[in-house]
């Protein structure tokens, strides 16, 4: 097979830390974190000069730059597992140096584009993620792997690990596939109008009415706190998992598990930071939404902003009339 390299590469410096050629076709993607907010150049330069026996096929920098360190025809030394590295394209992504090893929005966006490009050129039609180590090598069921499965390491860090499902979805949206290995849903147009509102009773909040359910869902996803209702007022889709049939959100409490959890002005890492929770306290969530950088975002009762629910533990549900915040809480 004639291998090629990604045209998205902005910097190239090849390392001798590699095995040439690889002995298996490329059918797997393995994403790592560098544990340092480096550019692609810094990462490639490091692999080219280090005495450590390590490398990766690509490096994604904090600024969205993409570096080539080991050509795709060759096996990198990245995952502490020769069999995995022989079949995988390994990608190091610039990250913070402490838990959860977060990456920048630019790095995340570049990673999605790079993975999609690798898949296209190597005939990987769908990216599959089950978070199941037992499926390693069964690429018809799961073709993403992580370093922590092969060595006593945190890599790729919880920030990226918890987003592997989202990464698969975003890549498959580019490829036209499904992250679960099923056929892509065919958009259906019907005579029914699907309305996107906060609640069925709040007609003034309506963002649109669609005959195509897929378009209605997309509209709801772009508007945190909104749901899709059929003509009878029943919720058929919501980007919130804690809503009743009439679309009314049921608030609940969470305990923060991270020592420094950012509060953002909106539901996503693309919104500015408005504060930080450092007390690992208990807080009340009054709304949920999908957004960049987290599996789910929660809105704080105080109105201070939104937090990633990936770094919280949900407590018992409470009614809205009994919501209480810690007396020393700022949010």
Each residue of 48-79: pLDDT tens digit?
999 899 999 999 999 999 999 999 999 999 99
For the chain, what is the radius of gyration of the CA atoms?
22
Distance CA 173, CA 27 (A): 18
Instruction: Output the pLDDT for position 327.
Output: 33
Q: How far is CA 253 from the centre of its chain?
A: 24
Residues in Cβ contact with 293 at an 8 Å cutoff, skipping those fewer than 6 apart: 102, 105, 108, 163, 268, 269, 270, 308
Confidence of residue 316 (pLDDT cuts 50, 70, 90): low
Distance CA 11, CA 66 (A): 6
DSSP state of 77: S
**Percent of the chain scored above 90 by pLDDT?**
51
Distance CA 303, CA 100 (A): 25
Cα–Cα nearest to 119, from 61, 174, 183, 59: 174
Residue that the structure tokens 């004639």 belong to: 2
Domain boundaries, given as residue ranges, for the chain: 11-175, 189-238, 252-322
Confidence of residue 248 (pLDDT cuts 50, 70, 90): low
Give the relative orientation of helices 164-175 and 105-121 as an angle to the nearest 10 degrees: 50
Instruction: Output the pLDDT for position 95.
Output: 95
Confidence of residue 191 (pLDDT cuts 50, 70, 90): low
Is the CB of residue 139 less than 8 Å from the CB of residue 26? Answer: no
* pTM exceeds 0.75 for this model: no
Name the token pair of 275: 């504060």
189 pLDDT above the threshold of 60: no
Distance CA 92, CA 111 (A): 9
Give the chain's mean pLDDT. 84
Instruction: Output the pLDDT for position 90.
Output: 98
Confidence of residue 239 (pLDDT cuts 50, 70, 90): low
Name the class of domain 252-322.
mainly beta
Confidence of residue 319 (pLDDT cuts 50, 70, 90): very low
Instruction: Give 94-147 pLDDT, tens digit per residue.
Output: 999 998 899 999 999 999 999 999 999 999 999 999 889 999 999 999 999 999
Give the 3-state secondary structure of residue 121. Answer: helix
CATH number of 11-175: 3.40.80.10
């Amino acid at each position: 097979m004639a291998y090629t390299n990604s045209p998205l590469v902005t910097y190239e410096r090849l390392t001798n830390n590699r095995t040439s050629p690889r002995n298996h076709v490329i059918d797997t993607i393995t994403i790592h974190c560098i544990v340092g907010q480096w550019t692609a150049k810094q990462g490639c330069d490091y692999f080219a000069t280090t005495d450590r026996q390590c490398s990766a096929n690509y490096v994604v920098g904090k600024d969205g730059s993409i570096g080539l360190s080991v050509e795709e025809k060759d096996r990198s030394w990245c995952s502490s597992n020769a069999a995995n590295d022989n079949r995988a394209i390994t990608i190091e992504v610039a990250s913070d140096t402490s838990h959860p090893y977060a990456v920048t929005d630019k790095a995340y966006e570049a990673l999605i584009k790079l993975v999609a490009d690798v898949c296209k050129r190597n005939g990987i039609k769908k990216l599959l993620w089950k978070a199941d180590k037992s499926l390693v090598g069964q690429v018809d069921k799961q073709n993403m792997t992580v370093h922590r499965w092969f060595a006593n390491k945190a890599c790729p860090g919880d920030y990226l690990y918890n987003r592997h499902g989202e990464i698969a979805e975003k890549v498959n949206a580019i490829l036209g596939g499904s992250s679960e290995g099923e056929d892509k849903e065919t958009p259906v147009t019907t005579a029914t109008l699907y309305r996107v509102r906060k609640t069925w009773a709040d007609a003034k909040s309506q963002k649109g009415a669609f005959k195509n359910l897929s378009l209605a869902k997309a509209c709801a996803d772009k508007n945190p706190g909104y749901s899709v209702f059929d003509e009878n007022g029943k919720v058929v889709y919501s980007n919130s998992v804690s809503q009743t049939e009439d679309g009314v959100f049921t608030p609940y409490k969470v305990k923060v598990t991270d020592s420094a959890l950012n509060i953002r002005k909106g539901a996503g890492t693309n919104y500015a930071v408005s504060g930080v929770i450092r007390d690992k306290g208990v807080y009340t969530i009054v709304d949920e939404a999908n957004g960049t950088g987290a599996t789910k975002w929660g809105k704080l009762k105080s109105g201070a902003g939104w937090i990633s629910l990936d770094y919280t533990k949900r407590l018992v549900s409470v009614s809205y009339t009994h919501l209480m915040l810690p007396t020393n809480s700022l949010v």
